[in-house]
Amino acid sequence: MTTAIAAKSQVRTAMNPRRYLGDSWRHPITRAVVKAFLTIWVTTTLTFLLIRLMPGSPVELKIDELIQTSNGSLSYEEAKAIASSLFAINLNAPIHEQYLSFIWNLLHLDIGSSFLSSGTSVTSIILSVLPWTLFSVGTGLLLSFVVGIGLGLLAAYRRDSLLDRVVSTGGSLVSSIPNYLIALMMILFLGVQTHIINFTSMRGAYTPGMQPGFTLAFIGDLFYHASLPITIYFLTQIGHWILSMRSATLSALEEDYVTAARARGLSDGRIRTAYVGRNAVLPLVTQLAISVGFIVGGAAIIEQIFAYQGVGLRLLAAVTQRDYPVIQGIVMLTTIAVVVANLAADLLYSKLDPRIGRAGGAAG
Amino acid sequence: MTTAILARPTFGQRLLGMWLSAGGFLRLLSQRPVGLLGFIGIVFFLLLAFVAPLFVPFQNDPSLVDIYQTPSAAHPLGTDFQGKDVLNQIVFGGRDILTVAILAALVSTAIAITFGSIAAVVGGKVDSTILAITDVVLTLPKLILLIAVAAILRPTGFLFLAVLLGALQWSSLLRQIRSQVLSLKERDYVEAARSLDLGIVHIVFREILPTMRSYIAIHFIFAMTEAMYAQVFIVILGLVPVSGSNWGIMLYFAQGQGALYFRDSIWYILSPILAISLVQLSLVSFASALEDIFNPRLRGSA
Amino acid sequence: MNALIELDHVSRTFTTPAGVITAVDSVSLALGQGEAMCLVGESGCGKTTTGRLLTGLLRPSGGRLLYEGKDVWLTKGADLARFRRAVQLVHQDPYASLNPTRTVFQTLSAPLFRHKKASSQRQALSAVTELLQRVDLSPPENFIAKYPHQLSGGQRQRVAIARALTVDPKVIVADEAVSMVDVSIRISLLNLLLALAKEFGVTIVLITHDLAVARYFAARGRIGVMYLGRMVELADTEALVTDPAHPYSAALIAAIPEADPDITRSKTRVELRSAEIPSLLRLPPGCSFHPRCPLAEAGLCDVLVPELLPIPGSREVACHVAVRERTGQRAAVTV
Amino acid sequence: MPVLSVRDLSIDYITRKGPVHAVRDVSFELEKSETLAIIGESGSGKTTLAVGLIRLSPRGTKVTKGEILYTKDGLTTDVRKLDDDDLREYRWAEAAMVFQAALNSFNPVITIWEQFLDTARAHGMKDRQKVRDRADELLDLVHLDAKRVLPAFPHELSGGMKQRVLIALSLMLEPQLVILDEPTTALDILTQRSIIDLLKQLRERLGFSMIFISHDLSIAAELADRMITMYAGRVVEEANVEDMFYRPRHPYSVGLLRAVPRVSGALGNVASIPGSPPDLMRLPVGCSYAPRCPYAIDACRAADPPLVPVDTPKHEAACIRWKHVAEVLGSNAEVPVAEKLA
């Protein structure tokens, strides 16, 4: 009887295949990549369904419009064929076939062409505007992240001082006012009433006629035009970073490894960066990823107010012109851009925090 | 002290308990001036939006004679591009917006609480699916989706708009509620309640939820600010059919009619901006004061 | 004497990201009414999991949990509820075992109302007062309306014990119930539990890593020593303390620092072959103590998993060498 | 001259309801290569005192009075008067404090090697190879494999290993004084034993003086040469180990010794101290132990009893009725208190 027990225990500890598969699945990087693809797939399907299945679907509207403009010379079938090429899907086929061909085209980056300037592909339209939004949002966000972390750290180190109160209350109040209202107020007070800033000269992403290239003048001009949107994106998130960093630093300061580091005579500078700073900033990296989606989403109104040719402005134009392939394209590509940013933040986080990077560890 | 003794206080005692704790709460709030200002701001705007319209006559007759008049005794905030009184529009402009904000916040908080607690309590497959969906929605650029959906569906009624906004906002709150319930579920006193066979109703409503009450209240207020932001966002962009008048629509017309660029039309565009900003400021400062009061770690030593 | 509650070859496994671990491996333990015994062992030995298995809060992966002779996990409805109430748990951390938002009265009256032991406020008040006196929290009026943060660690544990008593339990599992309380008041808490066993016939299992506390509490009872999920020795306290049979028990008793300079500085140590504690993921074959055991015999201890076998003096030990030396029998080999 | 001489040290916690006297007029001395145990329970102020010795008191605390005289090679300085740079040098080069392994004393996001390097660099050891050799040597001293420990992250080490690495790190600059906060709490019995033996071995080889604070009397019995028992922020008794264990003169020491059961030898009449630990916010007038003391008389409730020498050499107790305590205990034999009171 005892030998049976011994044999059984051997088997249990032998290598069990599921465990190996289990390990790779749990690894944070694989999970982040899968999550990214899942998001993209959900968005594409969502927009696909939106365009087709909603009552008074834009596809039907387009077909009627085609028939009317051709005052009857086009039959329903012909109009449908044109519409289907515009939408990059074959309308006759049943829904699931349409969906499959839609996805197939998407994989070849062919997402139909614009209604208005038929012939110019949606991708080319988007690629001409998306970089400006990513540039302005990216700069504004990174600036607010870096400045916010600095101020948050400072406010925590000087807890309950005047500086702490001003920075935290001020930050949270600025970030609670909707950013488009701040934009309007900037135009009102700095432009119209006092002419401090000449808004008209800042319209558009860069001064027309400038020779695009990596010259200092051109880059300077880019920043000149994008300065207002960047300021707004900066103000939108700055309060959030200050408050999160302040509370993360306060809890890090109470940790035992900070007292232990002081007991070992480490310099304040070293403790502030490698011990308090690095641990406090960890949770903020994941929040950075989430805030990208929010800011990009809100860019549309900021770009409209400042007449800055980003993807948001182009989306609004497409909406008013009911140019559905462009709407569909913008929604998908912006989501992909945001998802890629999130993936980068997830990977950065698993590298920064070893407890997640190396699943398992020696102690078992 | 009395309610502390009674396990099942009658309605009267419960009211007494709330009154005593309300007094205590105000005392705690008064130690945080910014929070108190926020609380006063909220009460003021709720009265302005839901009570003032009962007393102030609604003026809707345009008179082209006095377009963009600067503030005067007759028109404390001047008039708009149709000569209508701006103050009157501000008084009547709050109700729609606040209703939609409250409804949207209710929708998103309700989704977050139900699915968050289900994911935490049930666990296993259900938990991982809910979590996967939440993670996906969390990273979506929601406002871009909102623009597309609003453009195509053309939401008109309050309820439809509120549900739409609510349906886009629940993801981060759901994750937080799930982790809260998960941590509370593991607590020793919940395990004791299970072994005393007190029943799931007692465990959820007497052991877990009471500790989360303040947490949910705070995040309900934050959800309102998000709903306000998104609602005014799509109204200004003109994506929602314009009906009636509210602060967002005032801004839409102000922008459309070039009020932004005339020197003396400043009051017409500034009034809704200030109204909306003050509501948001009050909500945020009050909510952060609540967070400070109910978060034991920040409250310092007893 | 048929046991009130019994673990019959009970096992429990957990799936962790790093793989499947066997926290408890076919443990058998029979407890009579009013018995006060201790489960002792280092962290990771499975004593806490065994405690949870006893209370029925954790379902075993193998073996049976018997209460009054019936397999608990086969019963349904009323029987299961009756069993669930008959076995109560007292937790380790006094600061987490009481709901911070409920007063002492609310915590204690909830089970009374739920199980119809009190139908009106007045009845609940008098029942709670009597419970508080029974756990030496007097005068009760000082404690009834208090919130947990207004009580000391010791007072909170007494409220936790009072809460367990609200359902007249037959068995109390105290999981390290005294280890987070001040040293100077631990004995009074242990005496309270002992009084419950003597006067009310409640069976008490104290789980602790502190052998000195175990020796005091189970002075007239038994101690079970666990190692990496298995029961390695089960014996009357004085016998185990003065003459430990299993080499692991001997190593523990020799290693413990004593609160007396002369005794503790003159103790003879048991040199172990390695200080490395094997991980539950990769258990050594045969007896899991063999890599560290000074008595380990190659070919025997590292192949055969020893069973808990009786040896003279109403004791049981799971060690081939100990059984052989104390009974003269060859190890039960059926190759 | 003693390595460390603390005179009338008092430390307060500043709270909204006024100052709380966590440490009150504590004085003691520590000779070269001597080991002092500071024993106390919750609210005794032992951790506040220990952290105060290297001026690491947390926010919201204030050292109100007292001196901390540290002597090295005949030169005595008051730690309280050191400026920031000298204080930073004092910490670790002269007095190294080792915290409980259970608490996370290591920065979780950087490797053990980086934390060795940080400590070395903070004290002027720039040469990486020299630091590496020193780290290997120290880890060898505590029976750990440097190749496995140095590249690891803190969460990859067990409690026992972390405690050993902390001890190794504390010896990097050969400090004259090592202060340990609950060195063996939350460790298993066998690991605890290995840490105690390690500390004995290192003390023999390196000759540093050691102060450790704990609530566990058996660690004091194992390691200490002299002992202090603290209650409600004050030293209530100071004595050699044998005097404290077999001839205690303060009722609290007697109560504490009697409340701890033993595995070997007779159990004796083990009993708890009635009542509950002191609330530092509302301390009674006079002796703070009076409410729980079986020998208390009215005089005890009048004023705080000072530390007075008792009938054995270098042995002081803060109790006006210590003679009565000696009578109650009866013999001065080397027999545990619980048996004397059986």
pLDDT band at B10 (very low <50, low <70, confident <90, very high): low
- Contacts with D15 from chain B: Cβ below 8 Å: 301
Tell whether C242 is covered by a domain. Answer: no
In this prediction, what percent of chain D has a pLDDT beyond 90? 61
- Find all residues with CB under 8 Å of D58, minimum gap 6, and list them: A259, D51
Question: Based on the domain organization, do C199 and C314 belong to the same domain?
Answer: no
Question: Based on the domain organization, do C224 and C257 belong to the same domain?
Answer: no
Return d(Cα B251, Cα B272) in angstroms, integer: 7
Please give the span between the terminal C-alpha atoms of chain B, in angstroms, as a whole number: 18
For residue A26, the chain C residue with the least C-alpha distance is C17
- Residue to mutate among B68, B134, B144, with most A CBs inside 10 A, is B144
Tell whether C216 is covered by a domain. Answer: yes
Asked which of C178, C208, C237 is the last residue of a domain, the reply is C237
The full set of domain ranges for chain B reads: 83-301
Full 3-state SS string of B178-194: HHHHHHHHCCHHHHHHH
State the CB neighbour count (10 A cutoff) for residue D265.
15
Question: For B160-168, what is the mean pLDDT?
Answer: 89
Return d(Cα D86, Cα D80) in angstroms, integer: 11
Number of domains forming the structure of chain C? 2
- Contacts with D58 from chain A: Cβ below 8 Å: 259
Residue C205 belongs to domain with CATH number: 3.40.50.300
pLDDT band at C1 (very low <50, low <70, confident <90, very high): low
For residue B276, the Cα-to-chain-centroid distance in whole angstroms is 12
Identity of the residue in C191, C261, C277 whose CB atom sits nearest the CB atom of D245: C261
Task: Output the pLDDT for position A58.
Answer: 65
C131, pLDDT greater than 90? yes
Sign of CA dihedral D164, D168, D174, D178: negative
Q: What is the pLDDT of residues B205-250, one digit of tens each?
A: 888 888 888 889 999 999 999 999 999 998 888 887 777 778 888 8
pTM score, two decimals?
A: 0.83
Q: What is the pLDDT of residues A81-108, one digit of tens each?
A: 777 776 666 666 777 777 787 778 777 7
D227, pLDDT greater than 90? yes
For residue C60, the Cα-to-chain-centroid distance in whole angstroms is 16
For residue B188, the chain C residue with the least C-alpha distance is C97
> B23 exposed, middle or buried (CB, 10 Å; 0-12, 13-18, 19+)?
exposed
Task: Output the pLDDT for position A18.
Answer: 42
Tell whether C129 is covered by a domain. Answer: yes
pLDDT band at D319 (very low <50, low <70, confident <90, very high): very high
Please give the span between the terminal C-alpha atoms of chain D, in angstroms, as a whole number: 43
- Contacts with A263 from chain D: Cβ below 8 Å: 54, 56, 91-92, 96-97, 99
Asked which of C181, C207, C237 is the last residue of a domain, the reply is C237
Question: Based on the domain organization, do C221 and C271 belong to the same domain?
Answer: no
For residue B299, the chain D residue with the least C-alpha distance is D16
Strands D209-214 and D177-181: parallel
Question: Based on the domain organization, do C215 and C261 belong to the same domain?
Answer: no
Whether residues C305 and A19 touch (CB distance < 8 A) is answered with no
Write out the residue range of the structural domain in which residue C259 sits. 249-334
Task: Output the pLDDT for position D337.
Answer: 85
Which tops the pLDDT comparison, D254 or B122? D254
Question: For C179-193, what is the mean pLDDT?
Answer: 91
Question: Based on the domain organization, do C25 and C166 belong to the same domain?
Answer: yes
Q: What is the pLDDT of residues C9-55, one digit of tens each?
A: 999 999 887 888 999 999 999 999 999 999 999 988 999 999 999 99
Q: What are the tokens at C146? A: 């208090």
Return d(Cα B91, Cα B74) in angstroms, integer: 15
Instruction: Give me the DSSP letters along D209-269.
Output: EEEEEES-HHHHHHH-SEEEEEETTEEEEEEEHHHHHHS--SHHHHHHHHT---SSS---S
Return d(Cα B224, Cα B103) in angstroms, integer: 9
Identity of the residue in D54, D99, D169 whose CB atom sits nearest the CB atom of A256: D99
Identity of the residue in C88, C99, C109 whose CB atom sits nearest the CB atom of B195: C88
Return d(Cα C177, Cα C156) in angstroms, integer: 11
Identity of the residue in A261, A278, A362 whose CB atom sits nearest the CB atom of D156: A362
Whether residues C97 and B192 touch (CB distance < 8 A) is answered with yes
Q: What is the pLDDT of residues D130-169, one digit of tens each?
A: 999 999 999 998 889 999 999 999 988 888 889 899 999 9
- Contacts with D54 from chain A: Cβ below 8 Å: 263
Q: Which residues pair with D179 in a beta bridge?
A: D97, D211
Whether residues B207 and C99 touch (CB distance < 8 A) is answered with yes
Q: What is the pLDDT of residues D262-272, one digit of tens each?
A: 888 888 889 99
Return d(Cα B141, Cα A292) in angstroms, integer: 8
Whether residues A293 and B140 touch (CB distance < 8 A) is answered with yes
Tell whether C320 is covered by a domain. Answer: yes
Report the length, in residues, of chain A: 364
Residue pair C265/C220 in contact by the 8 Å Cβ criterion = no
- Closest-CA distance, B63 to chain A, in angstroms, reads 26
Return the SS3 of C102. coil
Question: Based on the domain organization, do C206 and C319 belong to the same domain?
Answer: no
Q: Which residues pair with D178 in a beta bridge?
A: D96, D210
For residue D161, the chain A residue with the least C-alpha distance is A363
Sign of CA dihedral A55, A61, A67, A68: positive
Nearest to C129 by CA among C141, C118, C117: C141
Q: Indicate the helix (H) or strand (E) that contains D44.
A: none
Whether residues B6 and C121 touch (CB distance < 8 A) is answered with yes
Identify the chains in contact with B, defined as 3+ C-beta pairs within 8 A: A, C, D
A283-297, B77-91, C160-174, D171-185, range with greatest mean pLDDT = C160-174
Residues 172-191 of C with CB under 8 A from B: none
CATH of B83-301, one of 1.10.3720.10, 3.40.190.290, 1.10.1740.10, 3.40.630.30: 1.10.3720.10
Measured between alpha carbons, how far is residue B23 from residues A169, B17, B18 in Å?
26, 10, 9
Task: Output the pLDDT for position A360.
Answer: 38
Question: Based on the domain organization, do C198 and C67 belong to the same domain?
Answer: yes
* Interface list for chain C against chain D, based on CB atoms closer than 8 Å: 42-43, 152-155, 182-189, 191, 209, 211-213, 215-216, 219, 241, 251-253, 255-265, 267, 269, 272, 275, 277
Question: For C191-199, what is the mean pLDDT?
Answer: 93
Return d(Cα A156, Cα C23) in angstroms, integer: 44
Identify the chains in contact with D, defined as 3+ C-beta pairs within 8 A: A, B, C
Whether residues A1 and C334 touch (CB distance < 8 A) is answered with yes
Residue pair B75/B84 in contact by the 8 Å Cβ criterion = no
Return d(Cα A149, Cα B211) in angstroms, integer: 31
Return d(Cα D124, Cα D140) in angstroms, integer: 23
Identify the chains in contact with A, defined as 3+ C-beta pairs within 8 A: B, C, D
B119-128, C71-80, C139-148, D95-104, range with greatest mean pLDDT = C139-148
- Closest-CA distance, B214 to chain C, in angstroms, reads 12
Return d(Cα B227, Cα B279) in angstroms, integer: 12
Return the SS3 of D210. strand
**In this structure, what are the phi and psi dihedrals at residue B40, rounded to the nearest 5 degrees?**
-60, -40
The DSSP code for B257 is T
Question: Based on the domain organization, do C203 and C301 belong to the same domain?
Answer: no
Task: Output the pLDDT for position A362.
Answer: 33
Question: Based on the domain organization, do C325 and C179 belong to the same domain?
Answer: no
Nearest to B192 by CA among C154, C136, C80, C87: C87
Nearest to A171 by CA among A139, A147, A140, A143: A147
Return the SS3 of C284. coil
Question: Based on the domain organization, do C225 and C261 belong to the same domain?
Answer: no
Question: What is the average pLDDT value for chain D, to the nearest integer?
Answer: 90
Predicted-complex ipTM score? 0.82
Nearest to C65 by CA among C83, C47, C77, C78: C83
For residue B274, the chain A residue with the least C-alpha distance is A181
- Contacts with A2 from chain C: Cβ below 8 Å: 304-307, 331-334
Asked which of C215, C237, C259 is the last residue of a domain, the reply is C237
Residue ranges in chain A assigned as alpha helix (H) = 2-13, 17-26, 28-53, 58-69, 76-86, 95-107, 122-157, 162-176, 179-186, 216-253, 256-263, 268-270, 278-305, 311-320, 324-352, 354-357
A109, pLDDT greater than 80? no
For residue A263, the chain D residue with the least C-alpha distance is D91
Question: For A348-353, what is the mean pLDDT?
Answer: 84
Tell whether C243 is covered by a domain. Answer: no
Using the structure block, give the residue that is written with the tokens 């009034």: B271
- Contacts with B165 from chain A: Cβ below 8 Å: none
Task: Output the pLDDT for position A16.
Answer: 41
Question: Based on the domain organization, do C175 and C84 belong to the same domain?
Answer: yes
Q: For A79-106, give one letter per residue: b (16+ CB within 10 A) or e.
A: bbbbbbebbbbebeeeeeebbeebeeeb
For residue C83, the chain B residue with the least C-alpha distance is B195
Whether residues A294 and B135 touch (CB distance < 8 A) is answered with no
pLDDT band at C101 (very low <50, low <70, confident <90, very high): confident
Measured between alpha carbons, how far is residue D191 from residues A139, C241, D196 in Å?
54, 20, 9
Question: For C84-105, what is the mean pLDDT?
Answer: 91
Max CA pair span of chain B:
78
Q: What are the tokens at A213? A: 């290239």
The DSSP code for A113 is B
- Find all residues with CB under 8 Å of C242, minimum gap 6, and list them: none
The DSSP code for A193 is I
Q: What is the pLDDT of residues B21-41, one digit of tens each?
A: 777 778 878 888 888 889 999
Task: Output the pLDDT for position C53.
Answer: 94
C152, pLDDT greater than 70? yes
Return d(Cα C143, Cα C103) in angstroms, integer: 9
Identity of the residue in D215, D218, D334 whose CB atom sits nearest the CB atom of C257: D218
Return d(Cα A136, Cα B46) in angstroms, integer: 37
pLDDT band at A363 (very low <50, low <70, confident <90, very high): very low
Identity of the residue in D194, D263, D276 whose CB atom sits nearest the CB atom of C253: D263
Cis peptide before C139 (omega within 30 of 0): yes
Residue pair C71/C65 in contact by the 8 Å Cβ criterion = yes
Whether residues D277 and C272 touch (CB distance < 8 A) is answered with no
The DSSP code for A202 is G
Question: What is the average pLDDT value for chain C, to the nearest integer?
Answer: 90
Identity of the residue in D190, D222, D271 whose CB atom sits nearest the CB atom of C264: D222
Return d(Cα C312, Cα C327) in angstroms, integer: 7
The DSSP code for A76 is H
Return d(Cα B256, Cα B89) in angstroms, integer: 17
Question: For A218-247, what is the mean pLDDT?
Answer: 88
